[in-house]
Amino acid sequence: MKSAKTAIIHPKAKLAHSVEVGHYAVIDKDVAIGENTRIGHHCYITGNTAIGKNCRIFAGSIIGEIPQDLKFKGEKSFLKIGDNNVIREFVTINRGTKEGGGTTIVGKDNFIMAYVHIAHDCRIGNNTVISNAATFAGHVYIEDKATISGLVAIHQFVRVGKLAMIGGISRVMQDIPPYSLAVGQPASVVSLNSVGLKRANMSIEVRNILKRAIKILFKSGLSTAHAVEKVEEELPEIPEIAYLVDFVKSSKRGIAI
C-alpha cells in the first residue's frame, strides 16, 4: 500500500498492497479496498464498506456514511462497490438500512461524476453514466447502461431501465422504462433513446421495433394495459420487447408516461 504521510488509515482496515491513498484521506476500520484502487486526497471512507479493484475515487468524496433516514437507529449495514468504477469529486454514497435489506450496491464500470448523491439501499448496475449533481433518494434502482444527466433528482423506489436516458434537470417521480429517453418536471417518456442504442451496437432492425413499441406504449393514447396488449399482439417476440413489456407490467410506482 502506498499512502501519503498525512492519510489516516485504521490498522484494522483491509487495503490491498497496491492501493494508493492521498493526503488527508481517512479510512475507518471496517473498510476493505481491492487492488490498484486509488483514493484521492481528503476522502472519507467509513462503515462496513467494500470497494473493488481498479477504482478511482477523487478528492473530497464521502463513501459509506450512515443513511440520511430518520428510521435508521444505528443497526449494522453495508455498502458494496464493484470493480473499475470512477467516482469523481465530492460524491456521497450512503450505506443501507434494515428496511431496504441492509446494503447499498454499486456495480462495476460505472462513471459517477462530481457531486452525485446515492442514498441508502440504492442499486446501481454496471456501465452506467451518472452526471454531475444527480441525486438519488433511497431505494432507487438504476439498471445496466443507463445514463442519468446532470441535476436529475430521482424519487424513492424509482426504477430506471436498461439503456434508458434521463435528460438534465429532470424530476423523476415514476419508473423510466428501458431503451427510452425521458425528460421533464415531472419526467415523462418522449422517445426511444436512439443515440444510446446505436452506441450500444443494437441493430437497426431491433431499434425500429423498439421505436414502434415506445410509440404504442407512450404516445398512442391507449391505457397502459391496452397498449401492452397491442405491443404483444403486433410486434415480434424478441427479447428486448419481452423485457420492455415485463418492466411495464411489473412497475410498482407506475411508468413516467
Known catalytic membership, residue 155: no
pLDDT of residue 133: 98
Assess whether 63 and 126 both reside in one domain.
Answer: yes
Over residues 197-230, the pLDDT tens digits come to 999 999 999 999 999 999 999 999 999 999 999 9
Mean pLDDT, the chain, as a whole number? Answer: 98
Residue 61 lies in a domain: yes
pLDDT of residue 52: 98
- Marked catalytic residue, from 138, 139, 161, 175: 138
Known catalytic membership, residue 120: yes
Over residues 37-49, the pLDDT tens digits come to 999 999 999 999 9
CATH number at residue 129: 2.160.10.10
- Final residue before a domain boundary, out of 142, 161, 195: 142
pLDDT bin (cut points 50, 70, 90) of residue 148 is very high
Please compute the mean of the pLDDT values over residues 113-135 and round it to a whole number. 98
Please compute the mean of the pLDDT values over residues 25-52 and round it to a whole number. 98
Residue 68 lies in a domain: yes
Whole-prediction pTM value? 0.97
d(CA 96, CA 65): 10
pLDDT bin (cut points 50, 70, 90) of residue 95 is very high
- Marked catalytic residue, from 42, 117, 120, 139: 120
User: How many separate domains does the chain show?
Assistant: 2
pLDDT of residue 156: 98
- Marked catalytic residue, from 30, 69, 121, 175: 121
Assess whether 19 and 121 both reside in one domain.
Answer: yes
Displacement of CA 160 from its chain's centroid (Å): 8
Say if residues 247 and 178 touch (Cβ distance below 8 Å).
Answer: yes
Residue 179 lies in a domain: yes
- Final residue before a domain boundary, out of 120, 142, 164: 142
pLDDT of residue 189: 98
CATH number at residue 223: 1.20.1180.10
pLDDT more than 90, % of the chain: 99
Q: Please give the full DSSP string across 57-110, using - where no structure is assigned.
A: E-TT-EEEEPPS-TT--S---EEEE-SS-EE-TT-EEE---TTTTSEEEE-SS-
pLDDT of residue 100: 95
Please compute the mean of the pLDDT values over residues 180-186 and round it to a whole number. 98
Known catalytic membership, residue 60: no
pLDDT of residue 77: 98
Full domain range(s) for residue 255:
173-257
Does pLDDT of 1 surpass 90? no
Assess whether 33 and 132 both reside in one domain.
Answer: yes
Assess whether 6 and 81 both reside in one domain.
Answer: yes
